[in-house]
Amino acid sequence: MSGDNSYAGVITSWSGLRTKMDVKDGIKFFFRLGVSIGKKLEGDFFLGHDTRKSSAPFADALASGLASTGMQVTVCGICPVFVVSYLVSKRLADFGLMVTASHNPPEWNGLKLFGPSGVIVDGATISSISSDAFKSDATPELKRFERAQDMQEEYVRGLRSELHQLRLSVKGIKVAVDAGNGASAALSRSTLEAAGANVVAINQDMDGTFHRTIEPKVESLSRLGETVRSSKCDFGMGYDCDGDRAVLADETGRVLREDMTLLASLRCLLDCIDTSFVVNCASSSAFSDLAHAMGRDLFVSNVGERNVVLKMREKGALLGGEGSSGGVIYSNLAATRDGILATMAIAALVREAGPIGPIVRPYLKYHERRVSVPFPSSADERKVLSSLRDTFSEVRCEEWDGLKFFEADGWALVRASRTEPVIRVIAEALSDDRARGLADKYSSALRKLLR
C-alpha cells in the first residue's frame, strides 16, 4: 500500500511517520532516526514533543542521535506542533522536529519534520530517513536534554503581533477549552487569558494520561459541550495531542463537525485579509459557498497539510486548511495548522458578529459520512482504484491522490490513508441518508474488489 514502510510497522507519509513500537525499541529507533537526519540535513534544529508517555524519552533519543553527528539541537519540551513550524519559518532554526502521533491513540507515536521554510518535508525524504534508520546498527548513546520552554514565547509574541495588525480582539469572550491532555493545554489557556478572554479549562493535565480519545470528535467532546452550557460560555474548543486539530462547540454546547472550525476561522480572517484561500479535495462544498459569499477565490489541493501549503504558495494565498482538521493555516504566522489561532479568530468573530451558531448555520446543510475500509499491505492501491473507477465508469470522476466521484446530488472521495492501513471513503450530500448511501455504495464496491 502506498504510504506504508515495510519496516516493523512504521508508516511513512507526507506528514511524517507513525509507529506503535514499545519504549525500548522506540528509543533505539529514534536515536537512529536522529543519526540519519543529522547525516542528511546539516543545520541546527528545534525539537518539540507532545504529552504521550513515550514522547519525552523518544525526543531525548532523537536529540542524542542528532547531537552525535555534530548537529545543534534545542529541545523545546512539550509544545504544540505549530510552535515548531513557527520557529523554523521565522528562521530561528534551520529545521524543526516534533515527536508526536498527532490524533492517533496513545499507543502510537511518530515524527514530523519541518524544512527551512517551516513546511513539512516531502514523504520521500521521510521514507529515506526511516529506511536508513532501520539499516543502521548505531548503538544509542543517550543524553538528557534540558527543556527550553521559553521558546514558546516567541510564537506567542508573533501571534499577538498578527492579531494586533489585523485589529482582532477577544477581550471579554468566555471560552471553554478542552485540551484533551495534550500539548496545547498550558499555552492555549495562557494565550487566551493574556489577550483578555475568560477561559474555563478541562482536561489540562499533561502527564501522559488521557481522559478522552485523543482525536477531538463530536462523540468524544460531550464534556466540552456540557462545560459550555453549565459555565455559560460563548463557545468551546477541543484540541488533539499536538494542537493542530480543533473542534468547535457553539454557544448551546452543540459540538459541530470538524470543518466548521476552519470555516468559522476563515470567515473571520477573510474579513480583514484580502486573499484567496486553499482547502483540500476532501473538504466540504461549504467552502465553495464561503468563497462565493466572501467574493474570494478558492483553490483546491490534494489531501495533506504539505499539499495545502504548497498550493497556497503557488497561488499566493495567505490562508488555508483541511476541513477534517479544524486548525487554520495563516502563512504570515506558520506553515502548519494552528488550533490556537483558530480559537482566537473565532473568539474575535463572536465578539464582532455574535453567537457562532447562526453564523455557521447556512453551511450545515451539507451532510458527511466517512467509512474506513481495511486495506492489506499486499494490495496494489493503484490497481484497486483503477478497478473502482471502471466499476463506476458512468460517474464523473476526478483524480486527486485518490478518486473523487461526482453524482447529481453529492460526491464521494476514495483515497488511501497515509497514516493508517485503511482506504477512506468520504461522502457528502444535502441529506444524511444520501451521504450514507453514497458512502455505502463506494465502500461496498471497494470491499468486493479487495475480496
Measured distance CA(123)–CA(415) in Å, rounded: 17
SS3 content of the chain, % helix, strand, coil (to 5): 40, 25, 35
As a dihedral over the C-alpha atoms of residue 35, residue 240, residue 122, residue 143, rounded to 10 degrees, the angle is -10
What is the residue range of 72's domain? 11-151
Measured distance CA(61)–CA(27) in Å, rounded: 6
Backbone angles phi, psi at 297, to 5 degrees: -80, 140
For the chain, list residues with pLDDT below 70: 1-8, 419
Measured distance CA(361)–CA(419) in Å, rounded: 32
Residue range 118-174, pLDDT digits in tens = 999 998 999 999 999 999 999 999 998 989 878 999 999 999 999 999 999 999 999
Number of domains into which the chain is organized: 3
Determine contact, residues 156/187, Cβ cutoff 8 Å.
yes
Distance of CA 251 to the CA centre of its chain: 24
**Residue at which a domain ends, from 363, 391, 417:** 363
350 and 401: one domain? no
133 and 167: one domain? no
Distance of CA 117 to the CA centre of its chain: 18
Measured distance CA(169)–CA(350) in Å, rounded: 10
Q: What is the pLDDT of residue 8?
A: 61
C-alpha cell at 241: 495531542
61 and 122: one domain? yes
Determine contact, residues 102/166, Cβ cutoff 8 Å.
no
Evaluate whether residue 24 is within a structural domain: yes
Backbone angles phi, psi at 221, to 5 degrees: -115, 30
Q: What is the pLDDT of residue 419?
A: 67
Q: Nearest-5° angle of CA 241, CA 245, CA 246? A: 110
173 and 310: one domain? yes
Determine contact, residues 11/418, Cβ cutoff 8 Å.
yes
The CA-atom distances, in angstroms, between 44 and each of 1, 67, 125 are 34, 10, 18
- Dihedral (CA of 127, 133, 134, 136) sign: positive
| pTM as predicted | 0.94
348 and 391: one domain? no
19 and 123: one domain? yes
Q: What is the pLDDT of residue 7?
A: 58
178 and 118: one domain? no
For residue 384, give the CATH number of its domain: 3.30.310.50
HSE value, Cβ hemisphere, 13 Å, CA-based, for 247: 27
